[in-house]
Amino acid sequence: MYLKIFFHRDYHKFSGGHLKVWDYFSHAQSSEKLQPLIYFTPTSVWDDSNPWKNSKHSLLKSWDPTQADVLFVAGFDWMTLPELPNIPVVNLIQGLSHAFPNDPKYCFLSRKAIRICVSEEVSAAIKSTGIVNGPVITIPNGLDTSLFPPPSNFRNIPLLIAGMKNPQLARTLSERLVQSGIPNHCQTEHLSRQDFLALLGRSKRAVFLPCEQEGFYLPAIEGMAMGAVVICPDCVGNRSFCLDGLNCFRPNYSLDSIMSGVHIAIQQSQEQEVLMKFQAMVQVKKHDLLSERRAFLKILETIL
């Protein structure tokens, strides 16, 4: 007999947040004891970017969380739940903003749940609030590289600026680099995930511009996996895997510091670059999706 675990999504375009919920949905699917089912809001988009596009058999036609054996929530999914004292809740927390008192997600911390945080930085942030109701467990984000396009043998982009989250800084950085004689490809428009990964695979080096505070920031690991030398400024949640000078460059989050990081990356010897890419792949392997799956299913075993 399967135990039903309910998910809830309001899907309008692809994001890293939706990707991780999809990963956890897939983890539940891999279990012989669980039946993951998901409800989408009526305004949700069903296009090729939606990871659930081929999982229509798992869709809930209506949302009644009282019918679940376990509930999985992330972000604002809490708003769809009444008080459910007898149904265990697993809460995936992907951002640091949950710990900010002026953030609307802050109040959810006082509701009882097992909380999975995507980094030690996120775990420390929510624990520091003193209002968390339930255990806090860190499971670093995993990455399924089996679906990645193969990197190009001819990297025709000397420097990519992945500036979708900070387009103004990206354009300023691009202009400053051109003035310094450094050609670059500045990407500020949203791309499909496969197109973005292919772009990374054509790039010799890649500057990532996350939000100034992120819970993890998966694209930096994706850049490592696709074989680019990564320059990613400190955004708090990337400190555990963006190891400055070892597997990437992690300057401070300022224009001048990022510029300096780019110049240092360009001045690397071939031997230094090869070593950095090797260390980057070592880091990528530490974030395999199977480890994330095992940790999640182990948590579920304790509550079922």
Per-residue pLDDT of 121-159, as tens digits, reads 999 999 999 999 999 999 999 999 988 999 888 899 999
Estimate the crossing angle of helix 16-29 against helix 218-225, to 10 degrees: 80
Share of the chain above pLDDT 90, in %: 93
Tell me the pTM: 0.92
pLDDT reported for residue 303: 82
Smallest CA-to-CA distance from 205 within 220, 216, 190, 217 is with 220
Please provide the average confidence, as pLDDT, over all residues in the chain: 95
Separation between Cα atoms, residue 172 and residue 177, nearest integer Å: 9
Separation between Cα atoms, residue 109 and residue 130, nearest integer Å: 9
The gap between the terminal CA atoms of the chain, to the nearest Å, is 12
Domains of the chain, CATH where assigned: 3-142+288-303 (3.40.50.2000), 145-286 (3.40.50.2000)
pLDDT reported for residue 58: 96
